[in-house]
Structure 1
Amino acid sequence: MTKPDTDLIIAGGGLAGATLALALARAVPSLRVTVVEAFPLSPGALPESYQPSYDARSTALGWGSRLIFEELGLWHRLAGQATPIRHIHVSDRGHFGATRLHAAEHGQDALGYVVDNRWMGLCLMRELLETGVQWRAPADVTDMTPMPGGVRVQLTSGDKGACELTARCLVVADGGRSGLREKLGFRVTRHSYGQNALIANVSTGDSHGFSAFERFTDAGPMALLPHGSPSRAGHQSALVWTLTDEALAEVLEFPGEDKCRRLQERFGWRLGRFTHIGTCHHYPLALTTVDEPIRPGVALVGNAAHALHPVAGQGFNLALRGLMTLVEQFRLAAEQGKSIGDLDVLRRYQSLHRQDWQQTVRFSDSLVRVFGQSMPPITAARDAGLVGLDLLPGAKRWFARKAMGLGGRRAVIDRPGNVNREVTRHE
């Protein structure tokens, strides 16, 4: 392929796809990037200001993700609506085991942050409008055909009908439910947890004090994350509540007061009385992985490559680190005169990201499995483990760094012209 229509097509302009596009605009500005997004997008449609909504869905960002967004020049925007997590309390309902993490013990302002998805998307769009990234929206990638030196991608674009674009590489970033990855022949492994995540914002009688709570119960794990003002500890938290199919159907039928009462029974009184629960969203929980997320000219990223249990808050943070590794390899390929879709380039990306991917999947999955057991020897062992984490500085530091998304390899995505070209850097 001598002159494709574009160098890279990103299928999906959500958080993962938009972040990838921005990172490439920063690190490899010579690369022609086209984002294909199903929802309409126009510069004039972006609001002048952001008004937080009580019912906004949010994402937990680890400290490591803040470092990445700082490197992309985006954190100064995000910080205006990012609620810090300064304390994490992990407990096992009905048992004595508990551990506590505090940002001050690690010399940092926060262990992580809670950010509304809509705010994050708005910040990304505002930054992207100042770059040379091209958009096809509304449009969908419907299929892909490999060809020498790249790919031919089929699109549908509303009233304009079907069309084709050629590119060096296609990155699938449209989540795990679009069906594109299956249509392209990627083999997906899915393990159902037999549970659902109910997500909502809640109000409590006591202030959250910038504390996040991970509560493991016999009915499944639950989490409450501080939400709302980034500077004042308020009474609003983001809830992730694990429920069986039967329990979910029952809770959804309850009026608000009864929902709060049931939640109180499961969580306890660490934040006082639950006074209000907002709009509830829910989805089935499963560990979804794609063992080989690359092939010549194609790579899967974000939820298209993996979907984790939300209890540990690792899904988007893992995806973000993977995106930066991909950007690093695209930058190196451009500097070396290689095509970004070459299998060697994508294999290098996969090799560098695989250890982080495997460790994070095991970490998240093991939390769910270990705390999902009710046998007395197992409950005694995990309670002892939680106490040990609280007492042993080395173990506690390891656990804290996993929660913050630190301790592993960081990709180098320096902008062109920087003299530091180390390929490996560790936290």
Structure 2
Amino acid sequence: MATTDTDLIIAGGGLAGATLALALSRAVPELRVTVVESFPLSPDAVPEDYQPSYDSRSTALAWGSRLIFEELGLWQRLSEHATPIEHIHVSDRGRFGATRLNASDHSQPALGYVADNRWLGLCLMRELLATGVQWLAPAEVVDMTPQPGGVGVSIKEGGDLRTLTAQCLVVADGGRSGLREKLGFQVRQQSYGQNALIANVSTGESHQFTAFERFTSAGPMALLPHGSPRRAGNQSALVWTLTDEALAEVLSLSDAGKCQRLQERFGWRLGRFNRIGECSHYPLTLTTVDEPVRAGVALVGNAAHALHPVAGQGFNLALRGLMTLVEQFRLAQSSGRSIGDLRVLRRYQEQHRQDWQQTVQFSDSLIRVFGDGSVPILAARDVGLVGLDMLPGAKRWFARKAMGTGGRRADIHGRGSSVGELSGHE
């Protein structure tokens, strides 16, 4: 095997890149890992006490993701500020169909969790600072060229440009950096003609650790319990799907006007909306890369696939993919094969493909079915939601999708296992 400056370069030290680096430090500690991140990292950036902000952006973590973070030794600290989702309520605004999921029906304390992105990042950084992972920050991967036995990665650090050799480059810098396109990956994007408006809101009644998925004539909206992990409060994380025109109108309103408009769309299940925090928004597209690997390079996270946020599956899908990649790297390292070998990376792709195809189909079908306002489809939706609530088998399938407890994967120690088995399901 050719001598290289490092074994693996990860472009991007966000949630996906940092999680991959931590998992590799646990599963393959002999692997030399270098993370290239555009934001600086230092111990000073990891405070001892975390004080959540009202406007903190958050991520929905499925139950299966909790199991992964437990394997990484991260969950005990992460759970300090992770709000449990004990119930999920799915409904169609103005229709009678609805279905409800309860964690207790599955012998679990929660169906999932909601954690601030900044808290997730701080927990990962705290652990990574104690590992042998090398960080180049602030720095940026700007190009890559194949070389015998690996790749040459061009890195811009300050005003200097240098090249590091490695067995493999993993692109984990999201879907907007442009690096994957520069490297020649073919990206398919399908616009939903919608935008996601993200904000935290306060309501007159407690959320009781319930996540609401509300489908309306103007698009779906989700309210996820946010705030204290131990006491059910009145703060929720909002994901509101809006057309370009509706988004512009909502953004032009005062906070009171936004709350009133939200009330009209969501209803009164949580009482009166009395506060909305800072709003951010982004256009919604279904982004996929059919061939996310080539010799010496692999795409992960949003660089490989970006989903509609309707079912909160994006980061959870990425996390499962990362663990699949870690296992293939572990097997390659133990057999003396380069981790950038195309056969190694294709096995990762093949094992992850079914998961991402099914998850994309699940999320995309929800948008298409609930976005159709024709009378036959409206009636079918009512029947479907009521049937889902009444049929144990269908409800169990839906719960497994929501909890991310389906399919097989290997844990970071190389033991083949089913996430469903780990969580006590059949």
Report the TM-score range of the alignment, normalised by the length of the smaller protein. over 0.9
Deviation at 1:212, TM superposition (A): 0.3
The TM-score normalised by the length of structure 2 is 0.98
5+ unaligned residues in a row in structure 2: which ranges? 421-426
Q: Kindly provide the amino acid, as one letter, of the partner of residue 395 in structure 1.
A: A
- Give the structure 1 partner of residue 146 of structure 2: 146
Q: Does 1:31 align with 2:31?
A: yes
Deviation at 1:422, TM superposition (A): 4.3
Distance 1:172 1:149 in 2: 19
Distance 1:71 1:422 in 2: 12
Distance 2:44 2:211 in 1: 37
> Percent of aligned pairs with the same residue?
79
Q: Kindly provide the amino acid, as one letter, of the partner of residue 105 in structure 2.
A: E
SS of corresponding position for 2:7: strand
| 2:198–2:279 Cα contact (<8 Å) kept | yes
Deviation at 1:41, TM superposition (A): 1.2
Deviation at 1:110, TM superposition (A): 0.1
Deviation at 1:3, TM superposition (A): 1.3
Per-residue CA distance 1:125-153 (angstroms, 9 max, x = gap): 00001100000000000000011111000
| 1:412–1:425 Cα contact (<8 Å) kept | no
Q: Does 1:305 align with 2:300?
A: no
| 2:2–2:148 Cα contact (<8 Å) kept | no
| 1:206–1:271 Cα contact (<8 Å) kept | yes
Distance 2:4 2:366 in 1: 46
Deviation at 1:410, TM superposition (A): 2.0
Distance 1:10 1:259, change over 3 A: same
Q: How do 1:382-397 and structure 2 match up within 5 A?
A: 382-397=381-396
SS of corresponding position for 2:142: strand
Q: Kindly provide the amino acid, as one letter, of the partner of residue 153 in structure 2.
A: V
Distance 1:60 1:252 in 2: 24
- Give the structure 1 partner of residue 118 of structure 2: 118
The TM-score normalised by the length of structure 1 is 0.97
5+ unaligned residues in a row in structure 1: which ranges? 415-420
- Give the structure 1 partner of residue 324 of structure 2: 325
User: Which segments of structure 1 move beyond 6 Å, counting only runs of 4 or more?
Assistant: none
Deviation at 1:49, TM superposition (A): 1.2
Deviation at 1:426, TM superposition (A): 5.3
Q: How do 1:251-330 and structure 2 match up within 5 A?
A: 251-330=250-329
SS of corresponding position for 2:373: coil
Q: Does 1:174 align with 2:173?
A: yes
Per-residue CA distance 1:110-134 (angstroms, 9 max, x = gap): 0000000000000000000110000
Per-residue CA distance 1:3-40 (angstroms, 9 max, x = gap): 10000000000000000000000000000000000011
| 2:64–2:419 Cα contact (<8 Å) kept | no
Q: Kindly provide the amino acid, as one letter, of the partner of residue 158 in structure 2.
A: G
Q: Kindly provide the amino acid, as one letter, of the partner of residue 33 in structure 1.
A: V
- Give the structure 1 partner of residue 424 of structure 2: none
Q: How do 1:100-249 and structure 2 match up within 5 A?
A: 100-159=100-159, 161-249=160-248
Distance 2:417 2:265 in 1: 45
Distance 1:118 1:325, change over 3 A: same
Q: Does 1:344 align with 2:343?
A: yes
Distance 2:267 2:419 in 1: 40
Distance 2:45 2:224 in 1: 31
| 1:103–1:111 Cα contact (<8 Å) kept | yes
Per-residue CA distance 1:308-361 (angstroms, 9 max, x = gap): 000100000000000000000000101111000000000110111111010000
Distance 2:392 2:272 in 1: 33
What's the C-alpha RMSD, in Å, of the aligned pairs? 0.9
| 2:409–2:416 Cα contact (<8 Å) kept | no
Q: Kindly provide the amino acid, as one letter, of the partner of residue 30 in structure 1.
A: E
| 2:408–2:416 Cα contact (<8 Å) kept | no
Distance 1:46 1:78 in 2: 14
Distance 2:416 2:237 in 1: 38
SS of corresponding position for 1:186: coil
